[in-house]
Structure 1
């Protein structure tokens, strides 16, 4: 799962969430190499002819477009959300790919977790409500991960209220 609970001390829980990476950097390099090699296969028969120079820029453009698309996907996925729960406070910090942060604080006793089956931008949309605001959490997770996250958040908030 692309999230993890840690316990820095007995009364604190920290939840870190990040987007799932289905293609690691090593796979990225292999994909670019494979696209280049397979893209140049038709050119082998054209070595020594003028047609090679007519097709080569298009094949290189395809490899460059693939590189750009995969890099953009990696940059867009550099999101980190951290929820810190203590018996007194619930604090959510979201850092986007540009380094901008958004923060939300609430008394953990009044914090409420909700799951919206179909009213959110994604199915099983998970939100935290408290201190007059509602904030999303883990919207980049899959449906099953959001369901599991909701159950874990409810349990963690109940534990903080009873601590």
Structure 2
């Protein structure tokens, strides 16, 4: 998901907030866990009733593994990137590492590799990839948006 917002009150520059797309809300994730664990517990109880004494233990283990997997999946959706483009600087800030890139917009090169599969910003020998968690269509839109914003910030669009 790409969100474009003006970065300052005077209208110079822009800020892009990138977040991975989520298919489910938090409530839907909980309901998915309940459905998967509930089905497993029904099968485990039928197995226990049929004579398998270890079925409830395996159901408990299965529930813990599903809960852990869904938690990790949910946490991976919380990452994000923020790209600030202004007349004085281009900054890339990630949710985990903080500011990872800063350069003057005139010297920043936009790299688009293999049909918008990889997008990078480079300056003075430093390079940072952006939008890796976005889908192909969103990466193409990001590349177009970055190209326009960098041209406007560096004065190359005149």
Q: Does TM, scored on the shorter chain, surpass 0.5?
A: yes
Give the deviation of 1:25 after TM superposition.
0.9
Distance (Å, rounded) in 2 between the aligned partners of 1:145 and 1:43: 43
What is the aligned counterpart of 1:159 among 125, 134, 152?
Answer: 152
The alignment's TM-score, normalised by the length of structure 1, stands at 0.83
* 1:45 CA drift (Å): 4.7
Aligned-partner Cα distance in 2 for 1:141–1:154: 17
The one-character-per-residue Cα deviations of 1:68-119 (angstroms, maximum 9, x if unpaired) are 00111222333221111111211111122xxx3242111111212111107x
- In structure 1, the gaps of 5 or more residues are none
- Judged with a 3 Å threshold, the aligned counterparts in structure 2 of structure 1 residues 92 and 54 are, in CA distance, closer, same or farther, namely same
Count of residues in Structure 1 that have an aligned counterpart in Structure 2: 154
> Hey, what's the Cα distance between the residues in 2 that align with 1:25 and 1:42?
26
- List structure 1 segments (4+ residues) > 6 angstroms apart after TM superposition: none
TM-score where L is the length of structure 2? 0.85
Partner of 2:106: 109
Contact 1:32 1:66 in 2 (8 A): yes
Unaligned runs of 5+ in 2: none
Q: Secondary structure at the match of 2:152?
A: helix
Determine the C-alpha separation between the residues in 2 that align with 1:127 and 1:16.
16
Is the CA contact (8 Å cut-off) linking 1:86 and 1:108 kept in structure 2?
Answer: yes
